[in-house]
Structure 1
Amino acid sequence: MTNNSQNVPVVIKGVVATSSDKQQLLDKLKAQYPDKPVRDEIEVRSNISIPTNWQQIATTIIDSDISNIRQGRIDIHGTTISLHGKVSSLEQKQAIQNRIHSRLTDLYQLENQLVVVEGEQRLIDETLGNRIVEFESGSTNLTPMGLGILDDMAGVLQRVGDKPVLITGHTDNVGNSTANLALSNKRAEAVKQYLIGRNINATRLSTTGKGDSDPIASNDNEEGRTRNRRIEFTLNE
């Protein structure tokens, strides 16, 4: 399951044994996110075997304050449940873990990989939200929408003082991985140059590219590929 912004659907993806199981999960997710579209990528396969109480566990997780996870993802693989994404405090991270763990049987293992983002980094993340800094296809030319987002980012970077910021470029997996890595580096550099033009001190800004090596969504559909073509801003204390 993936928890996104208001403009991006909440995606639920996986395999269940019956149509009834599928509908129950969808109903719970729509109740949890009443103001967001839900995209159904659940397959029904009657010949699969599922762990004991799997359906109860899955619906419990959906009801466990997961809307507090930003850029989040919850993976359920057999009896292992993994939490991914960002939360605002250690207390919030622990509360989500405790709420889910209290409803699990001994059969299940919970892996809490939530990252706590506080203070100025949180301000940067909230300013960017889940918006995508857009470029023209296959190039380093920013679109008008991308420029508008960077104007917002320049404003928030001025608010956090002189702390250094790492700009990281990412791509989807379409095309050659070597070319994608080069493009991600060039796009990160293009963002840096634009921010310098918006009066952000060049000495504060460093860049890197990860190509298609660190996706946050599936590359199997256009929506996921769009999310993976992204720029991230990390404050270096």
Structure 2
Amino acid sequence: MGTFGKWATGLIILGVVALVLEVFTPWGAKAHSVAMGNSVEATLKDAGFGSLNISMEGNVAKLSGNLPSTDAKTAALTAAQNAQCEDCAGRRAGGARWHEVDGTGINVVKPMLTVQPYTLTGIRTKNAILILNGYVSDEAERQELLAVAETLFPGNVTDQTVKIAQGAPNSAWLSVASANIGGLSLLETGRFTMKDSSSVLVGQTSTVEARNNINEAIAALGGSTNISVPNMQAANIGQINDEDVCQRNFERLKGDNKIEFSTGSAEIAQAPSLALLANLAAAAKQCSSFNVVINGHTDIEGDSENNLVLSQNRAFAVANVLIAQGVDAAQLSAFGHGDTNPIASNDTDEGKAQNRRIEFTVTQSK
């Protein structure tokens, strides 16, 4: 063989060696692995699966992450398997695909429902059954809520539809719910309603102490209450001739309870409100030598003139109930102030609820 032939043969041998080294040596395989990984990543991104993570182990593309359905997982695997790499394809005999795809790291996680308004209700029946209905943020929170309920109502918890959803107004949702369940455990009957950032607990209990404990616990978490004590009456001590004592008697009986009206009307809405007014009527009759001024107030919803009329009508409605309970009409005065005297911010539902109120003031002798 001549010099040229030897030279050409040498070049061919060197080329074959280089090709073998490119395919089978660690640095050649690593280069192909990186290139293939980049190709798979780009293909998945173009197919809408950019949230998945890709790592290459040799010629295996390992995918991981969360997808919303098995169909989405199948589509992602197909896209990854069909990814093209000019430097990698055809490296196997018969033109087989150079890379493989491992999708065991992909989890199918259904997207969580987001609801508005975000609500949770609890009802305590006369048989001490607790019925829960509404939403919590995750399964751990749901189990914690049910554990609290089961502790306070052992064997008597009915979890109708406590579901998992996004939309809770703040991280205190579970704390407020637990406090409301605790409040229900001290009542004879009652219910709580949580709606976004507002929380209201209403019901009946047999003692003033229980009512005060509930009011304090709920108020500490920004909620409101309307707890009546049906059997509580004005102290049976005959006529009271001290204005301050009469005022304190009204305040003790009313506590943090509200006289509730139907929305936008002067109709007294709930039986607990009527029971409260019956007790206040008894107190007024014991203070018959003093005037009792009834002041109605509203929040800022609606027209100011309409609010003034509404507050007046509500004050008159309260006076009429007291008169029907035997209070001398001459002892009572009723005024409406509309939305002019807020005691809380009207920027929140809780503040508006506080501003919608009836106040009683004992004044000078008749």
With structure 1 as the length reference, what TM-score do the two structures score? 0.51
- Which of 248, 256, 264 aligns to 1:130? It is 256
Q: How far apart, in 2, do the equivalents of 1:195 and 1:34 lie? A: 28
Could you say which residue in structure 2 is the equivalent of 1:27? none
Q: How does 1:27-106 map to 2 (within 5 A)?
A: 35-39=217-221
Tell me, what secondary structure is at the counterpart of 1:233? strand
Q: CA deviation at 1:39?
A: 3.7
Distance 1:173 1:146, change over 3 A: same
Question: What residue is the counterpart of 2:341 in the other structure?
Answer: 214
Distance 2:244 2:293 in 1: 17
- 2:303 maps to 1:176: yes
The CA distance in 1 between the partners of 2:255 and 2:362, in whole Å, is 15
Match of 2:244 among 111, 118, 121: 118
Paired residue type of 1:214: N
**Map of 1:194 onto structure 2:** 321
Counterpart for residue 149 of structure 1? 276
- Residue 90 of structure 1 corresponds to none
The Cα shift of 1:38 comes to 2.8
Cα distance in 1 for partners of 2:279, 2:261 equals 16
Counterpart CA distance in 2 for 1:231 and 1:165 is: 12
The aligned residue for residue 103 of structure 1 is none
Q: Against the structure 1 CA distance between its residues 161 and 220, is the aligned structure 2 distance closer, same or farther, given a 3 Å change threshold?
A: same
The whole-number CA distance in structure 2 between the counterparts of 1:37 and 1:120 is 26
SS in 1 for 2:315: helix
Greater relative CO, 1 or 2 (CA 8 Å, sep 6+): 1
The one-letter amino acid paired with 1:137 is T
1:156 CA drift (Å): 1.3
Letter in 2 for 1:174: E
In 2, Cα distance between the equivalents of 1:228 and 1:37? 15
Partner of 2:285: 158
C-alpha distance in structure 2 between counterparts of 1:160 and 1:149, whole Å: 17
Q: In structure 2, how many angstroms separate the alpha carbons of the residues matched to 1:162 and 1:200?
A: 12
Letter in 2 for 1:118: D
Shift of 1:35: 4.0
> Aligned-pair distance for 1:36?
4.7
Unaligned runs of 5+ in 2: 1-182, 184-214, 223-242
Tell whether 2:352 aligns with 1:225. yes
Question: Partners of 2:355 and 2:341 in 1: how far apart?
Answer: 8
TM-score (norm. length: structure 2):
0.34
Show the counterpart of 1:203. 330
Q: Say what the alpha-carbon RMSD is for the aligned residues.
A: 2.7
Bigger Cα Rg: 2
The number of aligned residues is: 133
Alignment partners' CA distance in 2, 1:175 and 1:198: 33
**Would the aligned equivalents of 2:246 and 2:283 in 1 still touch at CA under 8 Å?**
no
Gaps of 5+ in 1: 1-6, 8-32, 41-116
Change (3 A) 1:223 1:120: same
The alpha-carbon distance between structure 1 residues 34 and 125, as it changes in their structure 2 partners (threshold 3 A), is closer
